[in-house]
Structure formats: structure tokens, C-alpha cells
Amino acid sequence: QEIKQKIEKYNAKVTNCLLMKLNDDGTYTGFIKVHLKLRRPVTVPAGIRPQSIYDALKEVNLADMTDKRTSFYLPLDAIKQLHISSTTTVSEVIQGLLKKFMVVDNPQKFALFKEMRKDGQVLLQKLPLTEYPLYLRLLAGPDTDVLSFVLKENETGEVEWDAFSIPELQNFLMILDKEEKDKIQQVQRKYEKFKQRLQQTL
């Protein structure tokens, strides 16, 4: 009865069609939006077409059709909408997002955060894998300014590196090497401009 009242209160505030629905068994379904804020490239199957509705309905895993891999950057701050249940955990949300984008990286590389705005400040908190995102959405209401979900790299040091394959680890090294070179170039350009200004002044 308490959940029913919360859902009715939630749906009364919804300004689009993304309502929550209570099931006979006491569970409920609804929608969450996840902002993808990944700053590093992800690994996907090479030469595979995007997943079609037919593939999704037939649960065809296109990633299994080739062993070739490539890396690319997902659009920064892209938003993906998911229809989930009250029993869907953070871990399942992460796995579902990776499957939708055909990302074959280990899910342990990623973490789901809740983003809250309070007194002009943005607060980010990492969610445990056993948390239920739809329940958090229900408590916060439909306003994404109050609460939103963000998928980011898992930077907390909890990654178990032994779980990754040799090609994945080599890919990490290549990415870190590229980031290091980019950073060096940025610093060099900064001081080159400073040097030119000094010479002009002299």
C-alpha cells in the first residue's frame, strides 16, 4: 500500500509518458535515464552492424560473431533511457548498458553514480552493485535535477586486474600511453607560448 501511494504521487508529477506501473506481485516497473560520462575509449566488436530490434527480440548477441575488437570513444554525456523493474540492481543496469552499446569490456571497469544537486553544488555518490536504481528514482521523484544517474569509469581502485585478459591489459597500456603523450604535448605547447611572449617582451 505504501509503494502504491508513492507510485501514485510519482506519476502525478510526471510530465511525459514515462510512468511507473505497479504489478500484481508488488513489484513495479518504470524508466530511468543514465548519462554516459566515459572519458576513455571502450572496446567493441570490429565490423559489426548496430543491433536491430529483431536482434534484441531474438536475444542475438552480435559480439559473439567475431573475435576482432576495436576501441572508440562514446559521445561524452550521451543519455540512454532504460525500462527496468524494481528488482533490477545497479550491476544489471551496468551490464544492460554495455550490452546495448555492444561494449565487451569487463563490467567491473564501470560504476553507476547518483548525481544530486544541492545549494548550487553537484554531489556524486557511487552506488553499490546491489542497490535498486528504480527505488531511488521513485523516492526522488521524476525531476532529474533532483537526482540523475551517471555511468563513469570505476576509479576507486576496486578493479580486479586479474579478471582482465592480456589483450585488454595491453589496450589499457596503449590508452595510458596516449593520454601521457597528449598531456606532455599540452604542457609543451603551454610553455612554448610562454617562451614566445617572453621573447617578444625582450
- The share of the chain scoring above pLDDT 70, in percent, equals 83
Q: How many domains does the chain contain in total? A: 2
pLDDT in tens, 130-153: 999 999 999 999 998 889 999 998
Least confident of 118-127, 164-173, 186-195: 164-173
The average pLDDT across 186-190 equals 92
One domain for residues 110 and 132: yes
The confidence score (pLDDT) of residue 156 equals 58
The average pLDDT across 58-70 equals 55
One domain for residues 166 and 94: no
One domain for residues 173 and 85: no
One domain for residues 136 and 166: no
pTM: 0.66
* 2's grid cell: 505504501
127 contact partners, CB below 8 Å, separation of at least 6 = 90, 111, 112, 113, 114, 133, 136
Question: What is d(CA 171, CA 152) in angstroms, rounded to the nearest whole number?
Answer: 18
Question: What is d(CA 192, CA 83) in angstroms, rounded to the nearest whole number?
Answer: 51
pLDDT higher than 80, residue 10: yes
Contact 47/63 with Cβ under 8 angstroms?
Answer: no
One domain for residues 128 and 49: yes
The confidence score (pLDDT) of residue 53 equals 41
One domain for residues 137 and 166: no
| Residue 60 banded pLDDT, cuts 50, 70, 90 | very low
One domain for residues 98 and 23: yes
The confidence score (pLDDT) of residue 121 equals 80
Domain holding 14, by residue range, is: 1-153
